[in-house]
Amino acid sequence: MTGRFVSKHDEPLTSNDLDICQGALDEILARLKVGKDTEEAQRVAAIIIELYRQGVQKESQLIELAAAARGISDPD
């Protein structure tokens, strides 16, 4: 049997992790005015999950970075 180093990136997300990511996704989709069942929603969700796995774990930061990645400006 071979030992394998498991990085944080490979660990499953907890329900708390998913709640944070869902909050960020909901905010960005509201800004875009698109539904959850769209290709754009899938792209945004993938960006958010990747950012989260890379260590961005504050909802506000996820929103800011994922929105910027999709070319969405700050509503303020």
Structure tokens at 59: 């909802």
Q: Are 60 and 21 in contact (CB under 8 A)?
A: no
Mean of the pLDDT values across residues 53-72?
A: 94
Mean of the pLDDT values across residues 29-47?
A: 96
**Residue where the block lists tokens 């960005």:** 28
Run of H or E residues at 2? none
Mean of the pLDDT values across residues 31-59?
A: 96
Look up the pTM and report it. 0.82
Q: Looking at the predicted structure, is the pLDDT value of residue 2 above 60?
A: no
Contacts of 35 (CB under 8 A, 6+ apart): 29, 41
Q: Rounded CA gap, 70 and 21, in Å?
A: 16
**Residue where the block lists tokens 């709640």:** 19
